[in-house]
Amino acid sequence: MAFVLVALAAAATAAAGQAASASKTAGTRFVVAPSGNEARYRVREQLAGFDLPRDAIGATKNVTGQIVLGADGKVVKEASKLTIKLAELKSDQTRRDNYLRRSTLETTKYPSAEMVPTALEGLLMPIPPGSSQTFTVRGDLTVHGVTKPTAWNVTARAEGKEVVGTASTAFTFKDFGLEQPRVPIVLSVADTIRLEYDFRFVPDTTH
């Protein structure tokens, strides 16, 4: 999801080595690496039999997509998208996972979540080797058939030609028309869902 941000950071690093005569219409494309990517949700819940609330966490490594940057450093929205397979989210409770797939996320009908970046704010390019930057990525997030603008807090660093880091955002169940879990073992569920994304992007060498 916050993949947009990583691409930018990487683009910045790569841009330093590009020829000054490069075409103004040329773009830079970054894709999700084969490993090093994980998307997860985090929701505060109170379970029966437990004295204190805790975070319910579900994660998946099934993240695909790309981000394309124009020669001006801006995201090419029409060519950029990150997709997360929601049916593969797994937590420490199989019963929770089954309920979310069946009733909350309805993954048979809405199998994926998608993030399309629209703007990068506060990123200074290139990112110097050995350092990191914190910035904001704005984009359109689609979950459960509903699309909403979101802002992601991102921290990214360059590792050679790759860009790695973390991104996070938060929203309520109501924002995306999601049903809050209501089962006997769960006494309460916070209304806020936090999405987190550990990312690794690599330059696309196929174009």
The answer to the question of residue 83 being in a domain is yes
CATH number at residue 122: 2.40.128.110
Residue 69 structural domain: 3-13+27-203
The answer to the question of residue 174 being in a domain is yes
pLDDT tens track for 136-170 = 999 999 999 999 999 999 999 999 889 999 999 99
Distance of alpha carbon 26 from alpha carbon 31, whole angstroms? 17
Q: In the structure encoding, which two tokens stand for residue 129, read together?
A: 């080797």
Segment 91-113 mean pLDDT: 93
The answer to the question of residue 21 being in a domain is no
The answer to the question of residue 78 being in a domain is yes
Segment 27-39 mean pLDDT: 93
DSSP 78-140: GG-EEEEEGGG-B-S-HHHHHHIIIIIS-TTT--EEEEEEEEEES--SSPPTT-EEEEEEEEE
Q: In the structure encoding, which two tokens stand for residue 114, read together?
A: 């998608």
Residue 9 burial (C-beta neighbours within 10 Å; 0-12, 13-18, 19+): buried
The answer to the question of residue 20 being in a domain is no
The answer to the question of residue 22 being in a domain is no
The answer to the question of residue 40 being in a domain is yes
The answer to the question of residue 8 being in a domain is yes
Q: 34-44 in b/e burial notation, b at 16+ Cβ within 10 A?
A: eebbbbbbbbe
Number of domains in the chain: 1
The band of 48, judged by pLDDT with boundaries at 50, 70 and 90, is low
Average pLDDT, the chain: 83
